[in-house]
Chain A
């Protein structure tokens, strides 16, 4: 008697839990789909060749986002160019050279914490550190993004350095190779995937960043070459989205940019997954 009623109760509970879980899964999928369809539906019709290939003109009152696209490319390139050697170098030092484990632990913990800080704080610091000395410009924005992304690059590189088998290092040392040769020829080739993954994640973050850039890189929409561009203020796509929607009420343009960013984000996630898969395959060989 007792057993039967208990098992009935349990069964009812299980069915209920299952239903709740299904509901939450359904809700999540529905939300993502709604967002995708809504943004693409609002944005894609507004994407025209003219929008992509011109700059805004006050005479014709037309809006073009070419400068914002270029600014985004410049800032991504500049940031990666600076953050890569710093982050990879720091990771190599920490995993291969540093002998003080306590200090390494502290640095890793600090890096972990750094990557959780709200980006607006980076913006504030970047403004004081960089924009105040070099003026509001893309380069100041890039430097701010360097600080933001340094922990990401460092940590992903470190994680993949740790997966390089110790036996490779032993083999190389056993042949009389010095530290740097071992690192360069045996360890680094084994962590390329970590570096690439870190880069892709960083590009994603840079594309999505607005708060830190509002403070440091400015809002201008001028078409420049890369050198002049970095020295001048400029809006990236995400910042431009904010400006067009919030300050100018140009929702068509804002949604067009949103659609572009959305597609880029999907592509970036896809690329990251692809890289991981590719290297996982090679590693299991």
Chain B
């Protein structure tokens, strides 16, 4: 089953075409990795899926993206609800300068939950799901900026989970972290796919192999190859994919 369908999607930043005719179906409750050399449009494509590109002036998009059967660009779609369903974790951990609790409660509060007991429950569950509850349960009122980078990133994951998304977009979530934090996040991501669909950009091919079920290879704005991770890495269909994964460029 696929949850997101993308058909003939092109994207321009002003005159510069960053994505060319992308066609892909993102499978539900699994991990899809986007790989490719930097500047090939991975982040751009990821941000299109929950319309974060709306924030950038001069972006033009053609083609269709359907999420659960709805065209995400149609007028009936409330972009805030779309982003509630399709959450996002960024490359650099970006907790708000407020308490750990308030960070996680930010999303639920945004969507109208004010009941204290209910919020407590949501915050605890999100922090547990993000595998950081034990580390922070005694200092929920402390400022989130005092945490280590790896903790901050797991907090950001918890913050995203707190609004109960169905899809989680992650843009190189471990590239700013040390190896230990990285492997914790990889383990976490693999647990999360039980409940969530995960799309993850990664610069690290070993990570794609370790973590993902499906892999999409981008090059110069094109989706060159998409398939089961094992297949893409063991018997790529395209010469360009083979050159890339064997380290001949990028």
A residues neighboring B (CB under 8 Å): 99, 165, 167-178, 181, 185-186, 189-190, 285
Contacts and interface: CB of A to CB of B under 8 A. Distances in A.
Given A167-B94, A181-B110, A176 B84 contact: yes
11 contacts: A165-B94, A167-B94, A172-B96, A173-B52, A174-B50, A175-B87, A175-B107, A176-B82, A176-B84, A177-B107, A178-B110
Given A174-B87, A176-B81, 4 more contacts: A176-B83, A176-B110, A186-B96, A285-B97
A194 B97 CA distance: 17
Nearest to B92: A167
B143 interface: yes
Contacts of B92: 167
A170 B90 contact: yes
B122 interface: no
B80 A177 contact: yes
Contacts of A167: 90, 92, 94
B119 interface: no
Interface in B75-109: 80-84, 87-88, 90, 92, 94-97, 106-107
Contacts of B87: 174-175
Contacts, number: 65
A175 B90 contact: no
Closest 10 CB pairs of A and B: A176-B84, A167-B94, A174-B88, A175-B107, A176-B83, A176-B80, A171-B94, A177-B110, A285-B145, A178-B80
Interface in B10-38: none
B55 A176 contact: no
Nearest to B80: A176
B156 interface: yes
B213 to A, nearest CB: 24
Contacts of A185: 106
Contact of A170 (B80, B81, B94): B94
Contact of A175 (B57, B83, B143, B145): B83
B195 interface: no
A174 B90 contact: yes
Nearest to B57: A99
A285 to B, nearest CB: 5
Contact of B160 (A168, A169, A173, A175): A175
B55 to A, nearest CB: 6
B102 to A, nearest CB: 9
B146 A285 contact: yes
Nearest to B110: A177
A171 B89 CA distance: 8
A171 B97 CA distance: 12
